[in-house]
Chain A
């Protein structure tokens, strides 16, 4: 039996961060479909919504946008979808506009533009609970009357309040077909729009819609003329003349649209919103301090330093418990596998060793995301964006680049996907190029391992945190000049204004913060149990084979005084040197010799190119196999602290000197070691050229920086 198609198509639009997707989820429940719009990598989310009385509608959640002046691919999809210009998509019968109830004036700008599309509209005032908290009272009946009688619903989507009202409002809008009243343009602008419509119709044979005419007159970066087939030779002088006409009436043609819309909206909202005693005053006072030109960055650095210090200090105890658990597991499993020594090595040195070394960082990851969650939910992260924007504008990047780059600190992939919100294709490309420089969470375990094994014990916990913060800044420090060169000399990006909405400060909700911690923990553990586990087995095999059965006898003959334990360690060390991985690492090691990497680190570096977090488990395997060390984080640290060069001019010297440790961290901070990131970059930039350029640039910079760090530090502090 076939399911009947929904009778109506309904589009959900609104500014970003208005809770549009939360409302979409509440309206559609689990009946959702996710795909892409044809020809573009913009997600299309749709679902069926039951509006009562047997009316079922197809609800489409469109990407968030501030204005119909489509500049980015996301915004273009929204405007195309609203006018039915997407192949296979019907134009919406009803548009549901979701606005932030706490900021009606700014959010209704989009409503004012939507009026030109001449579609029935439902206005949803979301975050009603927050508006109440702020002491705002909204007269929805008066607002509806002022907006042509369209249905207005006051809801709190995340609490589920008023969702039923939205369903009823959609049904009512479909029934009554109430439209938003159009803005009345001043005479000169209206005349210019009429003249423009006539000029386009004369040349192309099709008169643009009023909305299209406004885009042609007010926007400088719209692709509309090409789509209408209006030639550049005729278009440019005509638009210039019409903008001069607007200018003569006292309006800047590029600012006229918001001025007229906002003047009208202020009148619409008169008496609609009554303000009580809000929190705005307190927010402004705190912002004066946190956004101060000098104090702001200092406080930001202090907060980051405090965060990493807390991560190290708090994680020490649970890390000890995990290490004890790994030890106990090995001790329990090893005797049971005495009869099968190869399998015993695979399980204890490989699986438990590699995965155990990786899992030991779970507490640090959890505590890090606890702090990040608190900073995000409290509203501080948006302030950090504001502080960092000054830096980005200096290097020629669009201010909107901060959000992708901030996302890059968690993972480069969502960072790359979020570059789609940047209108200027050149700025988008430049941002995508530098996003992988940001220190993603996969780099965290190698920093943590090196800091805990060397920096902390040698210089104390203060330096441990400082180096951690420093490593998170290394990528940024390189990204800024790379972006500068790209935007100024290669792509020649024009500077663009950046508008950032600062949310109010609020107490983070424990449930949300804990949920994010849980998600990250689950992902980390899943990764340890699947990909890391499988890679560990493969790395173990490469480090274990081929076997030389006569190795033990040969070592015993050469050094007959060795104890049984030392003999075992020596045999294991010889075996790994002769293994496939050992031979490969030794043949490639000369490339990394200037960085101070021995062949085992080289093996770790090479194994980490598909995914950089593999380094810890690889070191766990190579050092547990090679040094006879127990393979958990604590023993791995000890094995690394004791590791010495066995040949060459540095024979007998420690491998992990301060210079080598810093060089290794700098290498991982900069190197392009993530297969999915490279593939995503290729897709987002429309080919492999920029992905290859990114890989080569980052890898070359990583090698160069690691070499400079190693050479300089080993000369300045040869004994450290």
Chain B
């Protein structure tokens, strides 16, 4: 695999992984109640303190 492909795979894989991680985290937060804050709305609820 050449450098060109390696960089592209790394970037795309990183983006897909980050999206998956982010959605999983939002799912967990939403189960705890309130808005997970990933929807762009203004009703963000902080973590339970």
- The chain B residue sitting closest to A527, CB to CB, is B40
Question: In whole angstroms, what is the CA distance A523 to B37 when docked?
Answer: 11
Which A residues are in CB contact (< 8 Å) with B49? Answer: 33-35
Chief secondary structure at chain A's binding surface: helix
User: Chain A CB within 10 Å — which of B4, B19, B41, B47 has the most?
Assistant: B41
Contacting residues, chain A, for B27 (C-beta < 8 A): 679
Determine whether the beta carbon of B7 is less than 8 Å from that of A343.
yes
A332 to B48, CA, bound (A): 47
Given contacts A342-B5, A417-B35, A538-B16, contact A676 B46 (CB under 8 A): no
Contacts A346-B12, A531-B19, A538-B19 given; indicate if A674 touches B39 (C-beta within 8 A).
Answer: yes
A563 at the interface (CB under 8 A from B): no
Chain B residues with CB below 8 A from A676, complex form: 26, 30, 35-36, 38-39
Indicate whether A43 sits within 8 Å of B34 (C-beta atoms), given known contacts A340-B7, A417-B43. Answer: yes
**Residues on the A chain within 8 Å of B42, using CB:** 410-411, 414, 519
Assembled-state Cα–Cα distance A36/B35 (Å):
12
The answer to whether A411 touches B15, judged by C-beta atoms less than 8 angstroms apart, is no
Q: Please determine whether A411 and B46 come into contact, CB atoms closer than 8 angstroms.
A: no
Cβ contacts under 8 Å, A675 to chain B: 23
- B40, A680: Cβ atoms under 8 Å? no
Output the nearest chain B residue to A683 by Cβ-Cβ distance.
B30
Using a CB–CB distance below 8 Å, which chain B residues touch chain A? 3-5, 7-8, 11-12, 15-16, 18-19, 22-23, 26-27, 30, 32-36, 38-43, 45-49
Give every chain A residue within 8 A of B26 (Cβ-Cβ). 676
Partner of B39, one of A533, A538, A677: A677
**Contact in complex: A534, B15 (CB < 8 Å):** yes
Residues of A within 8 A of B47 (CB): 34
Known: A410-B41, A411-B40, A674-B39. A679 touches B19 (CB 8 A): no
| B15 touching A533, Cβ below 8 Å | yes
| CA distance in complex: A534, B22 (Å) | 11
Least CB distance from B7 to A in Å reads 5
**4 more A-B residue pairs beyond the given contacts A43-B34, A411-B39, A683-B33, with a C-beta to C-beta distance below 8 A:** A343-B8, A346-B12, A413-B41, A523-B40
Q: Which of A328-348 contact B (CB under 8 A)?
A: 339-343, 346
User: If the complex has contacts A36-B33, A41-B34, A346-B11, are A442 and B40 also in contact, measured as CB distance less than 8 A?
Assistant: yes
Given A413-B41, A535-B19, A674-B39, A36:B48 Cβ within 8 A: yes
CB pair B12 A541 closer than 8 Å: yes
Question: CB distance B35 to A680 under 8 Å?
Answer: yes
Chain B nearest Cβ from A403, distance in angstroms: 13
A599: CB under 8 A from chain B?
A: no
Q: In the complex, how many residue pairs between chain A and chain B have their CB atoms under 8 Å apart?
A: 91
Assembled-state Cα–Cα distance A537/B13 (Å): 9
| Partner of A346 from B8, B22, B35 at Cβ < 8 Å | B8
Q: A35-B49, A413-B35 are in contact. Are A340 and B41 (CB under 8 A)?
A: no
28 pairs of residues in contact across A and B, judged by CB atoms under 8 Å: A33-B49, A34-B47, A35-B48, A36-B33, A36-B34, A43-B45, A339-B4, A342-B5, A342-B8, A343-B4, A410-B41, A410-B42, A411-B42, A414-B41, A417-B35, A441-B40, A531-B22, A531-B38, A533-B15, A534-B16, A537-B15, A538-B12, A541-B8, A541-B12, A676-B26, A676-B35, A676-B39, A679-B27
3 smallest CB-CB distances across A and B, nearest first, come from A33-B49, A676-B39, A340-B4
Bits for A1-42, please: 1 = Cβ < 8 Å to B, else 0: 000000000000000000000000000000001111000010
Instruction: Determine if A703 is an interface residue (Cβ-Cβ < 8 Å).
Output: no
Among B4, B5, B30, B36, max chain A CB count under 10 A is at: B4
Q: Please encode chain A, from 178 to 191, with 1 for each CB lying within 8 Å of some chain B CB and 0 for all others.
A: 00000000000000
Is A540 part of the binding interface, using a Cβ–Cβ cutoff of 8 Å?
yes
- Chain B residues lying within 8 Å of A534, measured Cβ to Cβ, are 15-16, 18-19
A334-368 interface bits toward B, Cβ cutoff 8 Å, 1 = contact, 0 = none? 00000111110010000000000000000000000
- Most A-side CB within 10 Å, residue of B8, B23, B43: B8
Task: Determine if B4 and A342 form an interchain contact, defined as CB atoms under 8 angstroms apart.
Answer: yes
Chain A stretch 381-430: residues in CB contact (< 8 A) with chain B: 410-414, 417
Distance between Cα atoms of A594 and B47 in the complex (Å): 46
Partner of A680, one of B3, B15, B30: B30
List residues of chain A with CB within 8 A of the CB of B39: 411, 413, 674, 676-677, 680
C-alpha spacing A712/B33, complex, angstroms:
45
Nearest-neighbour CB distance to chain B for A672, whole angstroms, equals 14
- Chain B residues in 8 Å Cβ range of A346: 8, 11-12
Chain B residues near A43 (CB-CB < 8 A)? 34, 45
Q: Which of B7, B15, B43 contacts A414 (CB 8 A)?
A: B43
Q: What is the bound-complex CA distance between A675 and B43, given in angstroms?
A: 16
- Chain A residues with CB below 8 A from B18, complex form: 534
Task: Report the minimal beta-carbon distance from A676 to chain B, rounded to whole angstroms.
Answer: 4
List A521-535 residues whose CB lies under 8 Å from chain B.
523, 527, 531, 533-535
Contacts of A531 in B (CB 8 A): 19, 22, 38
